[in-house]
Structure 1
Amino acid sequence: MPVKTLALACTAAVLLAAAGAMPAAATPDKPVIALANAYFGNSWRHQMVDAFEAAAKKAKEEGKIADYIILNGDGTVAQQNSQIAELILKKVDAIAVDAASETAVNGIIEKACKAGIKVVSFDSIASAPCNYQLNFDFKGYKKAQAEWVLKKLGGKGNIIVVRGVKGSAPDADMFAAQEAVLKNYPDVKVVATVYGQATASVAQSAVANALPSLPHVDAVLGQGGSDDTGIAQAFDQYGGDYAKKMPVIEGGGSSNFIQWWTKQREANNYSTISMNTTPGIGGAAFWLAYGLVKGATPPKLMIMPVATVTDENLKDYADLPAGVIVSPSYSQQWVEDNLIKAKAGN
């Protein structure tokens, strides 16, 4: 009996075969596509997995694939290595990998490639030479967003930096971009650096714990996901001077933050900018993996667009449901037109 989805909880340490079931056997025309997602602890990753699964369900309903497998990890390299090893044994045709590390999963990815499996790493990429990379320009968009915020401050003030998922490639790239911008603003002082894990509850706790010992904070540089909501909640909870004037908090695309921003703008003419990587990449990664199995030859490195919300277009997003990240969905046709048919350097 085919398995539609084999999903692991974040705390699971090993791959579980649901009730002993196995995925439907692949045929030359109908492959089995898998997702190995290293971390499942924030709303961005949940939405990304949902996007992958929606694309996979569509492909299965249309008879394009035999089956699909989804594995979600606890953020550790050891677990993801075990998951990919199990997928190799299952002889899947392609694996989309949201990696626990840019380098530490390279060995098992090389084994998958040698076994004839197509591998595409995305979002948090791996650097194994054999794998295709579907990435965002983390450094580019974070540099632009940090520049906007620091210019909004007039080039001086106190800021908090809230980092993302510890150990991930996106966290390293975004933090490096923020540091590069900060070097050009000597009158801006970083008064605290904390990890928010791109999660509202973690970011709220980290910022709330830091605030009592800090001078007045003028801005917060974040890394996206739902950390923006948690940061805003921490300042709301703290109150004091912040009840009258909130710091400029970088938005990371969460609908809850956009709703908060809308209310702040109506009440206090609050101004900020939100830029975020789009969790719809999960669907793009599925269709790219499918295309690779079917013989597509895209560039080794492909870049996805980011979503931007400003004071000017804020009203266009004010009616989003709670708990989602701003993101389009990416169809098979979009992937073919914008990724598979793209030329390196375009």
Structure 2
Amino acid sequence: MTERIPQTSSTSRRNLLFGAAAVSAGAFLTACTSNENNASAGTGKQQAGGVDDKPGKKVTIGFAGPQADHGWLNAINQNAKERAKQYEDVTLEITEGSNDTAQQIGQIETLINKKVDVLVILPADGKALTQVGLKAMRAGIPVVNLDRVFASQQAYRCWVGGDNYGMGLNAGHYIGEQLKDKKNAKVVELAGIDNLELTRQRTQGFDDALKNYPNIKKVGRQAAEFTVESGQSKMAGLLQAHPDFDALWNHDDDQGVGAERAIEQAGRDGFLMVGGAGSRKVMDTIKAGNSVLKATVLYPPTMSASAIDLARALGQGKGVSGMAELEIPASITLYSAVVTKDNVDDYLPTGFN
């Protein structure tokens, strides 16, 4: 899973937690304008309350994301496409996606030259693509900045993304509650890429949560690379170094596939595992209840479907239902819900492959 919003944890928490009362991105953005009908969410399966699918002013939305070389990133693209299909008044101009910043800048400039009405951009590198965001805004094309934030607020009209600090915080509190009565409990952490701000935020949130449980000590940490292979090799190292622990928090469900392989090969159990992001495979495993994997903390790729909703509202000059303001918010931070066997059926439609 590649880099996302490089905000400090305090900044992230101060952003508008629109939908914190809801439990997933599929429900966090209830509507752009009031309506009578419901439409299914980004996957085309779940129902997102309050989406206004009554045709209005025609809007052309340009969508530019990175290369879908990770399950979560592929889900970002699919959610955007499926959401746009629900609207008769939306035309989606989508780029191939690239992790090369120069190529992505060129793709966005092409969309600007086509004079699309609104742009939705998930930049491969927020800082590097700030200038092209500014160029679009100066051309009168509002930008919905998805997940990885631009370096200047002038480069976007609205930012929509996940809460990395909140992921760690909620994972830590879940584990803490499971182990609060165990004396001298031990936990280990399988992190993501350490030079990414998102990884540091997830670890900080996790560590802060554990401060509330003096009986729990984090005894080991390894940084993987958000891939199956790295998850397997780094988890094997953790298992070898720590023959006894009570819980594992893994930052990413894709690398968690490799972590599970290492755990099975080592014949280890007797601890609980918490994942991160919300893949369908992980949710199916949680529901089956026959693995050390007991929960996952969401980083919802349905945010791209919500970005399409917001872009459509911007193009039609509308606001968000349920809010007093005439304009859409400037910043929306998604809630990192914890999915367990008790609530997994509610989240299965949002799980990504």
Query: Does the TM-score normalized on the shorter chain lie above 0.5?
Result: yes
Q: Is the 8 A contact 1:36 1:70 kept in 2?
A: yes
Unaligned 5+ segments in structure 1 are 1-9, 11-27, 328-346
Q: Give 2:162's aligned residue.
A: 136
2:329 aligns with one of 269, 294, 299: 299
1:73 aligns with one of 89, 98, 117: 98
**Cα drift, residue 221 of structure 1:** 1.7
Cα deviations by residue, 1:174-200 (Å, 9 ceiling, x for unpaired): 233123334556751342321242x44
Q: Is the 8 A contact 1:106 1:128 kept in 2?
A: yes
Q: Give 1:309's aligned residue.
A: 339
Paired residues for 1:269-284 under 5 Å: 272-284=294-306
Q: Secondary structure at the match of 1:251?
A: strand
Cα deviations by residue, 1:264-286 (Å, 9 ceiling, x for unpaired): x35x8x67332212222221111
Distance 1:126 1:175 in 2: 23
Paired residues for 1:44-193 under 5 Å: 44-59=72-87, 62=88, 64-74=89-99, 76-130=100-154, 131=156, 132-153=158-179, 154=182, 156-164=184-192, 170-182=198-210, 188-193=217-222
Q: Give 1:15's aligned residue.
A: none
* Structure 2 CA distance for partners of 1:156 and 1:44, relative to 1, 3 Å: farther
**Cα drift, residue 163 of structure 1:** 2.9
In the alignment, does 2:281 pair up with 1:256? yes
Q: Is the 8 A contact 2:222 2:234 kept in 1?
A: no
Q: Secondary structure at the match of 1:34?
A: strand
Cα deviations by residue, 1:275-302 (Å, 9 ceiling, x for unpaired): 2122222211112112112223211012
* Structure 2 CA distance for partners of 1:68 and 1:58, relative to 1, 3 Å: farther
Q: Give 2:26's aligned residue.
A: none
* Structure 2 CA distance for partners of 1:275 and 1:292, relative to 1, 3 Å: same
* Structure 2 CA distance for partners of 1:311 and 1:29, relative to 1, 3 Å: closer
Distance 1:118 1:96 in 2: 9
Aligned length: 285
Q: Secondary structure at the match of 1:71?
A: coil
Cα deviations by residue, 1:78-112 (Å, 9 ceiling, x for unpaired): 44334333433333322212233443322221122
Question: What TM-score do the two structures reach when normalised by structure 2?
Answer: 0.68
Tell me which moved more, 138-147 or 47-56.
138-147
Q: What code does the residue aligned with 1:192 have?
A: R
* Structure 2 CA distance for partners of 1:193 and 1:102, relative to 1, 3 Å: farther
Unaligned 5+ segments in structure 2 are 3-55, 319-326
Question: What TM-score do the two structures reach when normalised by structure 1?
Answer: 0.69
Q: Is the 8 A contact 2:59 2:315 kept in 1?
A: yes
Give me the CA root mean square deviation: 3.4
Paired residues for 1:32-51 under 5 Å: 32-51=60-79
Q: Secondary structure at the match of 2:63?
A: strand
Distance 1:294 1:262 in 2: 41
**Cα drift, residue 172 of structure 1:** 4.2
Q: What code does the residue aligned with 1:117 have?
A: I
| Higher normalized contact order (CA 8 Å, seq sep 6+, divided by chain length) | 2
Q: Is the 8 A contact 1:123 1:170 kept in 2?
A: no
* Structure 2 CA distance for partners of 1:172 and 1:86, relative to 1, 3 Å: farther
Q: Secondary structure at the match of 1:207?
A: helix
Q: Give 2:49's aligned residue.
A: none
**Cα drift, residue 29 of structure 1:** 4.9
**Cα drift, residue 51 of structure 1:** 1.0
In the alignment, does 2:263 pair up with 1:235? yes
* Structure 2 CA distance for partners of 1:271 and 1:229, relative to 1, 3 Å: closer
Q: Is the 8 A contact 2:286 2:341 kept in 1?
A: no
**Cα drift, residue 255 of structure 1:** 2.6
Q: Is the 8 A contact 2:64 2:107 kept in 1?
A: yes
**Cα drift, residue 33 of structure 1:** 1.3
- The share of aligned pairs that are identical, in percent, is 25
Q: What code does the residue aligned with 1:56 have?
A: A
**Cα drift, residue 227 of structure 1:** 3.4
Q: Secondary structure at the match of 1:91?
A: coil
Cα deviations by residue, 1:21-75 (Å, 9 ceiling, x for unpaired): xxxxxxx95343122222422212212211101122333xx2x13442133223x
